[in-house]
Structure 1
């Protein structure tokens, strides 16, 4: 018949755990005078830690889509899927920082409710239909052309030449650069005769 373990034997595992904890914990080593930037700060846990982004197979640069500041971002991708977004420290604009909206770009991209296909609802219909992108672009072009032709004004009643339409407007995105905005203004104002040309960055 075996004897029950003595109190001394039962205390051994606890003492060993405490001893291992104190030996592995970095604070006692730092209090003993070891520099905190060297081995004193290491532990079993920290030795096993790995950079969370080392699994990314592609790192690309992009611009935050939310406002007119134009903060640069680094996008980490693995197997074609975004796994993390952070500020680009090389940017003179944000220098690696992001506001809460910019930091939430990750959820914007990976949100399961994000629409990734063209949705169209026919007039008086009660349901949405999926359409090809080419079909949508062609329909937009046709509607713009038809609306312009139906509402285009060459001259005012007093004889002043205006060559414009008041029935179509343009609202540009905040991430458009100067060159893109220049082209939009030329195409919409000089080409189509739009009067209402605005940009999100100014609203």
Structure 2
């Protein structure tokens, strides 16, 4: 049998063969269609998604945390995955090695989850409640401010200066939180005020 094939019809036939092979390779064949029907569900579909800020340096990268367990129903949430937030303007979905390892930081056995207090002269720390910790901090601040607030300087000019207590702010916050922190600290008269980004 003799096939009369022109150059044009050869190119047409070769192009059709390439197209058919490519479609099969992209998953349009019978075997691929049957296999696609048995693909397991995406592992994060049944999780709760929460956006937050990375706790490390002062860059304040956005992160997305995925956890299982309904906190509203009283269940303990189990963090299973952390990734960069692609919608965040600072990092646009990328994370440094420390940020990428945040899940290990959260699940670390040595991570403190409640306040601890060491009484004067004691060698061991003891766990205390958050209310007790905040009461101790507030009492220490009030006592120190009452004893050391400078209301009038040497020239007789009214001032609001408290130089015996310092304040270190977190840098992984929003502009609004940073503004509120600054106003609160300055209104108390604290002079020694710095930010984590400079440490």
What's the counterpart of residue 66 of structure 2? 76
Aligned counterpart, 1:166:
163
Residues 66 and 174, structure 1, Cα contact 8 Å, conserved in 2: no
Q: What is the deviation of 1:50? A: 5.1
**Which of the numbers 133, 136, 140 marks the counterpart of 1:139?**
136
For 1:18-167, list aligned pairs within 5 A.
33-34=21-22, 36-38=25-27, 51-56=42-47, 58-79=48-69, 80-167=77-164
Q: What is the root-mean-square deviation in Å for CA atoms of aligned residues?
A: 2.6
After superposition, the Cα gap between the structure-2 partners of 1:196 and 1:37, relative to the gap in structure 1 and judged at 3 Å, is farther
- Check whether the contact 1:66–1:102 (CA below 8 A) recurs between aligned residues: yes
> Displacement of 1:39 after TM fit?
5.7
Distance in 1 between residues matched to 2:55 and 2:26, nearest whole Å:
39
CA deviation profile, 1:142-181 (whole Å, cap 9, x unmatched)? 1000011111112233334332111111111011222112
Relative contact order, higher structure (CA 8 A, sep 6+): 2
Aligned residues: 170
Find the partner of 1:188 among 169, 185, 188: 185
The answer to whether the 8 Å contact 2:53/2:173 transfers is: no
Q: Which moved more, 1:85-94 or 1:131-140?
A: 85-94
CA distance in 2, matches of 1:196, 1:163: 13
- TM-score normalised by length of structure 1: 0.73
Matched, 1:175 2:164: no
| Aligned partner of residue 92 in structure 2, secondary structure | coil
- Which range moved further: 159-168 or 106-115? 159-168
Q: CA deviation at 1:70?
A: 2.2
Structure 1 spans left out of the alignment, 5+ residues: 1-32
Separation in structure 2 between the aligned mates of residue 54 and residue 178 of structure 1, nearest angstrom:
33
CA deviations on 1:40-76 (whole Å, 9 max, x unpaired) are 89697xx6665343452x1111111222322221111
